[in-house]
């Protein structure tokens, strides 16, 4: 177990400082997923999702497209919100009287990957697995669809999320058209909105399809700029990376180096900092240096 002095980790949050007792790279690998910074883009998307969650069911629900280049944080933002909402619902359900709960769990948000080529049957399979109710492959797409609709109603699902929606663009033109009809019918029959996330090509396709264009509002996520907000983000990361000594990530040289290697994409920044933090521990330096960043 690492030797911890009273001065070690003074720059960290109270919770992060408790991780310093974990030896070796496990200190980073075991805790990295817990790092979450509620930056302005994340708060904007979450506020929109909170409003959608409260919207009553409708025969023509208003959907949401979250789009942007790869690694700007789309999936993480949606995943964090979905996990928090479902966890809150689970805690509330545990406090209920078991005799009044019924036979179905409450699952407000179902989040799945969009299947390649917009395959209808595989979409239903993904949703059913996410809800813990997989069906044999031999079932028809129609049978799977009806089961999905039943489960969404029984589990009191309010939102379905389709991540990596650009996967659907790999199909032929007729396959893409069919998938558009599938998602339109799914949201209409379930009466709940869809939230889809994908790269910028998805938004271009939506603009060409009148029904998708009118049914989906948009939020675009962009790479960060090298400015005060970027340095504020780096300071937030530094308080959450369990290293004994401060790395001064927001100082001009470090901030510029991190911006250059990540191009301002928060996903790339996170990957670089994770690998550099592991190097910092294994070297005994216990702080991230410019050389460690360049070596990633």
Q: Residues 44, 119: one domain?
A: yes
Q: Residues 130, 197: one domain?
A: yes
- Pairwise CA distance, residues 194 & 186, whole Å: 9
Q: Residues 51, 194: one domain?
A: yes
Strand order in the sheet with 216-220: 109-113, 159-163, 194-198, 63-67, 216-220
The CATH number that applies at residue 182 is: 3.40.50.300
In a domain, 7, yes or no: no
Q: Give me the helix-helix angle, 120-130 and 141-154, nearest 10°.
A: 30
In a domain, 110, yes or no: yes
Q: What are phi and psi of 150, to 5 degrees?
A: -65, -45
Q: Residues 45, 122: one domain?
A: yes
- Pairwise CA distance, residues 151 & 199, whole Å: 29
16-55 residue pLDDT tens: 999 999 999 999 999 998 899 999 999 999 999 999 999 9
pLDDT at position 56, please? 92
Q: Select from 239, 203, 201, 240 the least CA-distant residue to 218.
A: 203
Q: Residues 18, 66: one domain?
A: no
Q: Residues 114, 230: one domain?
A: no
Q: Does position 84 have pLDDT exceeding 50, yes or no?
A: yes
The domain boundary residue, chosen from 145, 179, 208: 208
- Pairwise CA distance, residues 192 & 155, whole Å: 13
Q: CA-CA distances (angstroms) from residue 151 to 112, 158, 191, 253?
A: 15, 12, 13, 53
The domain boundary residue, chosen from 208, 233, 260: 208
In a domain, 271, yes or no: yes
Q: Select from 233, 251, 239, 232 the least CA-distant residue to 289.
A: 251
Q: Residues 24, 47: one domain?
A: no
Alpha helices in the chain (DSSP H): 14-17, 26-29, 40-54, 74-94, 98-101, 120-130, 141-154, 173-190, 200-208, 210-215, 228-240, 252-262, 266-283, 290-295
In a domain, 180, yes or no: yes
110-169 residue pLDDT tens: 999 999 999 999 999 999 999 999 888 889 999 999 999 999 999 999 999 999 999 999
Give the domain extent around 201.
Answer: 40-96+103-208
Q: How confident is the model at residue 59 (pLDDT cuts 50, 70, 90)?
A: confident
- For residue 151 the two structure tokens come to 């489960």
In a domain, 1, yes or no: no
Q: Residues 115, 81: one domain?
A: yes
The model's pTM is: 0.90
The domain boundary residue, chosen from 156, 177, 208: 208
In a domain, 218, yes or no: no
Q: Indicate the number of domains in the chain.
A: 2
Q: Residues 160, 173: one domain?
A: yes
């Amino acid at each position: 177990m690492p030797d911890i002095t009273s001065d070690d980790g003074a720059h960290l949050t109270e919770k992060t400082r408790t991780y310093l007792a974990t030896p070796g790279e496990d200190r980073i690998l075991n805790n990295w997923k817990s790092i979450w910074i509620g930056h302005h883009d994340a708060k904007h998307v979450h506020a929109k999702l909170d409003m959608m969650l409260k919207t009553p069911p409708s025969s023509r629900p208003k959907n949401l497209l979250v789009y942007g280049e790869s690694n700007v944080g789309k999936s993480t933002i949606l995943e964090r919100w979905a996990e928090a909402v479902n966890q809150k619902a689970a805690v509330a359900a545990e406090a209920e009287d078991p005799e009044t709960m019924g036979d179905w769990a409450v699952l407000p948000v179902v989040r799945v990957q969009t299947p390649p080529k917009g395959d209808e049957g595989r979409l239903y399979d993904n949703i059913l697995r996410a809800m813990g109710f997989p069906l044999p492959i031999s079932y028809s797409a129609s049978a799977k669809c009806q089961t999905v609709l039943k489960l969404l109603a029984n589990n009191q699902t309010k939102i379905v999320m389709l991540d990596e929606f650009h996967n659907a663009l790999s199909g032929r033109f007729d396959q893409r058209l069919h998938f558009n009809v599938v998602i339109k019918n799914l949201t209409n029959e379930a009466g709940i909105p869809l939230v889809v996330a994908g790269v910028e090509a998805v938004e271009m396709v939506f603009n060409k399809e009148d029904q998708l264009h009118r049914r989906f509002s948009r939020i675009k996520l962009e790479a960060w700029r090298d400015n005060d907000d970027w340095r504020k983000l780096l300071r937030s990361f530094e308080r959450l990376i369990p290293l004994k000594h401060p790395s001064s990530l927001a100082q001009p040289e470090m901030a510029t180096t991190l911006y250059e290697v990540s191009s301002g994409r928060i996903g790339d920044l996170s990957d670089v900092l994770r690998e550099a933090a592991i190097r910092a521990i294994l070297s005994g330096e216990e702080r991230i240096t410019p050389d460690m960043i360049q070596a990633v």
